Structure 1
Amino acid sequence: MNYFSSDFKLGILGGGQLGKMLLYETRKYDIYTLILDPSNEAPSKVACNEFYQGDLMDFDTVYEFGKKADVLTIEIENVNVDALEKLEDEGKKVFPSPTTLRTIQNKATQKLFYKDKEIPTADFTRFAYTSEIQAAVRNKTLDFPFVWKSARFGYDGQGVKVVKSYSDLDALPNVECIAEEMVPFKNELAVIVARNPDGQIAVYPVVEMEFHPEANQVEYVICPARIEESVAEEAQRIALKVSESFNHVGLLAVEMFQTENDTILVNEVAPRPHNSGHYSIEASYTNQFEQHLRAILNLPMGSTQSKVAGIMVNLVGAEGYQGPVVYENIEEILKLDGVTPHIYGKKETRPFRKMGHVTIVNEDMTEARKVAQKVKETIQVISK
């Protein structure tokens, strides 16, 4: 099929910043695009060929949108899978597959999948409702502390809480959830794997993630990870096993823990371009968005090698600010060598909302990390 400057149409479910960055690549290739998003102010609206406003969880909305496209992909997991299954049954190409999405949408189902496929992951207990946890603790089948995770609709640190006492349970929603064993770990790592329908695979270097202690959001992504080569090889091996187990087509970001004894445990996955791969826009020969496009269109995979060391700094709304966004001191970081800001196009900021990111590239990782720290300390996402 001819995708370039043709009648081919790519449908993307979700119009957030990931969709916007994917559209950089579709425009480069002159691929016609359609976006569906619930917000009329979605960042992707400015760059697609056709924009549709609608509920991503509504069957009819997703089904009717899908019929307009030749291939469908996502930039967010929370979409109506029943509609995608019907479209797939009718011959529409959908990547990632609805089967994969159905498993990943529910953290409990996702964890059970890992156990079934003998993929290493932290021990956990599944609960139909959060209210059942207190009885489990009283009956000594569960001990404090543990990590509570909502089974559905968690993102960017939402739906996750470290529970140390009964009082920590009081503020949690009474929903299907898991209680996960606390894992003593050295590092949080991620590996992105890309695979096309022909089975060609490309694996990116292992990255290291540093998290904000309160918001549970990534603050820095560091590539390559500052770990031993044997640990990196094991992380990539496990990531490949996860991708193979899902029979995944497209990009799959595998988030992991490196424990204190260097065991690798899978935390969770995202079947799409991911925050842990943003560094690749400036630092890699083939960035993650182009790679996802190549994969779902069954084009040859690009090189995943890095040109230089890359660090990504997330730009999130500062605490205490809500309203029309202002990027304070952005001119100051533009004076630094190797610094590239990416502004997502969200007009309103609020505490910890992802508003953009900054990539720092340098041949010296130590120097790149110093510049990243300076960027973090300089720019502030506030409101008018």
Structure 2
Amino acid sequence: MDYFSSDFKLGILGGGQLGKMLLYETRKFDIYSKVMDSSEEAPCKIACNEFVKGSLMDFDAVYNFGKGVDVLTIEIENVNVEALEKLEDEGIKVYPPTKALRTIQNKATQKLFYIDHEIPMANFNRFAYTSEIEDSIANGGLHFPFVWKAAQFGYDGQGVKVVRKLGDLNGLPNVECIAESLIPFKNELAVIIARNASGQVVSYPVVEMEFHPEANQVEYVICPARIDKKVAEKAIEVALKVSSTIKHVGLLAVEMFQTQDDKILVNEVAPRPHNSGHYSIEASFTNQFEQHIRAILDLPLGSTESKMAGIMVNLVGAEGYTGDVVYKNMEEILRLEGVTPHIYGKRETRPFRKMGHVTIVNQDIAKAREIAQKVKETIEVVSKQ
């Protein structure tokens, strides 16, 4: 099929920042893009060829959107899978395949899949409702501390809470969930795997993630991870096993824990471009967004090697500020060596909302980390007074 400067249409479900960055690549290749999102203010709206407003969870909206494209992909997992299955049955190419998406979309189903395929992970308990957890604790079936996770619809730190005492359960939604052992990890790592429809597979280097302790969001992504070579090899091996068993097409970001004794445990996965791969825009020979396009169109996959060390700093809304966004001290960070800001196009900020990211590249990982710290301390994402 001729994808470039042709009548071919690529559909993207979700119009957020990941979709916007995918559109950098469709523009580069002159691939016609059609995007659906529920918000008129979606960052993708200004960059795609065609924008449709509609709910990603509505069967008819997703089905009707998909009938008008040749290949359909996602930038968020929270989509109506039944509609995607019908489209797939009718010959529309859907990536990731709906079978893989069903496995990943529900965290409890995802964990059971890991058990079936002997993929290492933390111990967990599954509950139909959060309200059942208190009885499990009272009967000795569950012990503090643990991590509560909503089975579905968690995103950007939402739907996850560390529970250290009974009172921490107060206010949690009464939904299907899992309670996962709290791992005393040494590092949180991630590996992105790309797979095209012909079965070609490549892996990106292992990255190290530093999280905000309150928001449960990534603050820094560091590539390459500052870990022993054998640990890195094990992390890639585990990620490749997850990829081969889930049988995705496109990107699969595999988040993992490195335990104190250097075991690798899978935390969770995302079948799309991912925050842990944003560094690749500046630091890699083939960035994750171009790689995703190559994979879902069954084109040869590009090199995943890094040109130099890369660190990504998330820009999130400062606490105490809601309203029209202002990026303070942008000129100051632009004076720093190897710094590239990416602003997502969200006009309204609120506490911990992802508003953009900054990439820092340098031949020296220590120097890059030093500059990243300076960026974090300098830029402020606030609102107009």
TM over 0.5: yes
Whether 1:258 aligns to 2:258 is yes
Q: Which residue of 2 aligns with 1:239?
A: 239
- Which one-letter code corresponds to 1:39 in the other structure? S
- Which one-letter code corresponds to 2:172 in the other structure? L
Q: Distance in 2 between matches of 1:98 and 1:39?
A: 24
Q: Distance in 2 between matches of 1:39 and 1:170?
A: 31
TM-score if structure 1 supplies the norm length? Answer: 1.00
Q: Distance in 2 between matches of 1:212 and 1:82?
A: 35
Partner deviation per Cα, 1:143-182 (whole Å, 9 max, x = no partner): 1111100111101111111111111111211111000011
Q: Distance in 2 between matches of 1:56 and 1:141?
A: 37
Q: Which residue of 1 aligns with 2:299?
A: 299
Q: Residues 178-193 of structure 1 correspond to what in structure 2 (within 5 A)?
A: 178-193=178-193
Q: Distance in 2 between matches of 1:147 and 1:307?
A: 37
**Larger CA deviation: 164-173 vs 206-215:** 164-173
Q: Which residue of 1 aligns with 2:276?
A: 276
Partner deviation per Cα, 1:187-232 (whole Å, 9 max, x = no partner): 0000000000111011000000000000000000000000000000
Q: Which residue of 2 aligns with 1:72?
A: 72
Partner deviation per Cα, 1:18-71 (whole Å, 9 max, x = no partner): 000000000000000000000001000011000000000000000000000000
Q: Distance in 2 between matches of 1:307 and 1:173?
A: 45
Shift in Å, 1:102: 1.1
- DSSP-derived class of the 1:240 partner: helix
Shift in Å, 1:337: 1.0
Q: Distance in 2 between matches of 1:131 and 1:66?
A: 38
Shift in Å, 1:101: 1.1
Q: Which residue of 2 aligns with 1:360?
A: 360
Q: Which residue of 1 aligns with 2:28?
A: 28
Whether 1:316 aligns to 2:311 is no
Q: Residues 198-237 of structure 1 correspond to what in structure 2 (within 5 A)?
A: 198-237=198-237
Q: Which residue of 1 aligns with 2:335?
A: 335
Q: Distance in 2 between matches of 1:24 and 1:171?
A: 40
Shift in Å, 1:100: 1.1
Partner deviation per Cα, 1:77-126 (whole Å, 9 max, x = no partner): 00000000000000110000111111111110111111111000100000
Q: Which residue of 2 aligns with 1:42?
A: 42
Q: Distance in 1 between matches of 2:201 and 2:177?
A: 33
- Which one-letter code corresponds to 2:54 in the other structure? G
- Which one-letter code corresponds to 1:327 in the other structure? Y
Indicate the percent of aligned positions where both proteins have the same amino acid.
Answer: 77
- Which one-letter code corresponds to 1:193 in the other structure? I
- Which one-letter code corresponds to 1:198 in the other structure? S
Q: Distance in 2 between matches of 1:98 and 1:247?
A: 10
Shift in Å, 1:253: 0.2
- Which one-letter code corresponds to 1:376 in the other structure? K
Unaligned stretches of 5+ in structure 1?
none
Q: Distance in 1 between matches of 2:28 and 2:170?
A: 50
Shift in Å, 1:5: 0.3
- DSSP-derived class of the 1:352 partner: coil
Q: Residues 130-149 of structure 1 correspond to what in structure 2 (within 5 A)?
A: 130-149=130-149
Q: Which residue of 2 aligns with 1:106?
A: 106
Whether 1:9 aligns to 2:14 is no
**Larger CA deviation: 164-173 vs 294-303:** 164-173
> How many corresponding residue pairs?
384
After superposing on structure 2, the runs of 4+ consecutive aligned residues of structure 1 that deviate more than 3 Å are: none
- DSSP-derived class of the 2:294 partner: helix
Q: Distance in 2 between matches of 1:201 and 1:143?
A: 40
Whether 1:86 aligns to 2:86 is yes
Q: Distance in 2 between matches of 1:172 and 1:66?
A: 35
- Which one-letter code corresponds to 1:367 in the other structure? K
- DSSP-derived class of the 1:131 partner: helix
Q: Residues 340-351 of structure 1 correspond to what in structure 2 (within 5 A)?
A: 340-351=340-351
Q: Distance in 2 between matches of 1:120 and 1:43?
A: 37
- DSSP-derived class of the 2:262 partner: coil
- DSSP-derived class of the 2:130 partner: coil
Q: Distance in 2 between matches of 1:353 and 1:275?
A: 14
Shift in Å, 1:376: 0.1
Partner deviation per Cα, 1:227-247 (whole Å, 9 max, x = no partner): 000000000000000000011
Shift in Å, 1:16: 0.3
Root-mean-square deviation over aligned CA pairs: 0.4
- DSSP-derived class of the 1:208 partner: strand
Q: Which residue of 2 aligns with 1:62?
A: 62
- Which one-letter code corresponds to 1:272 in the other structure? R
Whether 1:372 aligns to 2:372 is yes
- DSSP-derived class of the 2:373 partner: helix
- Which one-letter code corresponds to 1:118 in the other structure? E
